[in-house]
Amino acid sequence: MFKIYFEEPKQEQKMKNNKIIQASVSALKFNNIIDIVGDLISFENLTESIKNYSVQTPIYIDDDNNVISGNRRALISKNLEIKTIPAFVVDSNKTPLEIEKLRIEFLLTNRNMSHLDIIQIYYYQHAVFEKYDEPYTEYMSKIQNCTQRAIQLKLKAGKIYSTLSDEVKSIFQKLDSAKKIPFTTFIVMSKLEEIDLANFIKEVIETENIEHKHLVSITKQYEEMLARQNRNKTINEDSKKSKESKETKEETVLSEISVNELNSSEDAEIKDDDEPNILVDMKRVFKYEIKKYFNVAIETDEEEDVEKIQSKLHIDFKEELELIKSLLEGAN
């Protein structure tokens, strides 16, 4: 039998010049921001290696025995009832935020993390940075060489995941233990409204013996729903803009109509002795209604006169006014 060696994590290689202690496994405190078991196959391989050769690469802890790097090695050692394992102790002068930044380096360089791991880590760490008034998205975007928007998406997905029930979380963890869940799933979940998210989760729970392909199918279904909603929103916005544009044109056309011309024309027709009085009255009411409909200035005397005529004749030009408006819209 030949001995199996695992490559030392990059950050722990930097600690080689520091003193290594033998840490008591029973005193170690695990950091449970993510499922420390992770990928089951690699976990089983690591378990077999530690069973045969003990822990070869020191873990990384602080003064209070909190595990900063090496959760899985510590957990396996505990399960195997190993008493002590090698460990580096972080500088006691480091602040909690500096320790968290160190943890970020370990997590990003030491493990092949899944998307589920990442969104949980980001959500946890964001709260730590926020506590110390440090901009997490800016820091992480530089570390990861990506946009702040990309970090914000992971944070939002992590927030959504944190609200899920233990039943749903266990489903995701089971799926993730064998194969990485597509990040699209978490992005779609983060964009859903509360009721849509509830339906999404319901479908996940009700899918018998859910597999990755079924989760992908459900994700695709809701992704298409979001796409339709966005298209409808764009169409509605364009329609609204078009309507506003037409109304503006109408106002422009009407503003060009001379109020003086309306008034002078009205006076001329009223003085026409050959025209029956009923027609004169109807014209006066009609012109008044046109001016009122299109917000043209009306004299007080004119308004009083027309009110008297309307009360006497009960004239209504609603249909005629709608026709005028529709003709104007057609002209534009």
Same domain assignment for residues 96 and 21: yes
Give the domain range for residue 268.
257-331
Same domain assignment for residues 133 and 223: yes
Same domain assignment for residues 158 and 243: yes
Q: Supply the pLDDT for residue 78.
A: 92
pLDDT in tens, the chain (332 residues): 333 333 444 444 444 445 789 999 999 988 766 556 566 777 888 899 999 999 988 999 988 898 888 888 999 999 999 999 999 998 878 888 888 888 887 776 656 678 888 888 888 888 888 888 889 999 888 888 889 998 998 999 999 998 899 899 888 988 887 667 888 999 999 889 889 999 999 999 998 888 888 999 999 999 999 988 888 887 777 777 766 666 666 555 555 544 444 444 444 443 444 445 677 777 877 787 788 777 777 777 777 777 777 777 777 777 777 777 777 776 65
pTM of the predicted structure, to 2 decimals: 0.55
Q: Supply the pLDDT for residue 253.
A: 52
Where among 254, 273, 303 does a domain terminate?
254
Same domain assignment for residues 245 and 129: yes
Same domain assignment for residues 206 and 144: yes
Sheet holding 84-89, edge to edge: 20-24, 84-89, 59-61, 67-69
- CA 83/CA 95 separation, integer angstroms: 29
Same domain assignment for residues 249 and 261: no
Same domain assignment for residues 84 and 133: no
Q: Which amino acid is located at 191 in the chain?
A: K
Judged by DSSP in three states, 244 sits in helix
Q: Supply the pLDDT for residue 257.
A: 47
Same domain assignment for residues 180 and 196: yes
Same domain assignment for residues 59 and 190: no
Across-strand partners of 22?
86
Q: Supply the pLDDT for residue 9.
A: 46
Same domain assignment for residues 145 and 79: no
Where among 65, 88, 109 does a domain terminate?
109
Same domain assignment for residues 105 and 117: no
Same domain assignment for residues 277 and 201: no
- CA 137/CA 151 separation, integer angstroms: 6
Identify the residue whose tokens are 């534009």. Answer: 332
Give the CATH number, domain containing residue 100.
3.90.1530.10
Q: Supply the pLDDT for residue 198.
A: 92
| Number of structural domains the chain divides into | 3
Where among 201, 228, 254 does a domain terminate?
254
- CA 297/CA 289 separation, integer angstroms: 11
Q: Supply the pLDDT for residue 4.
A: 36
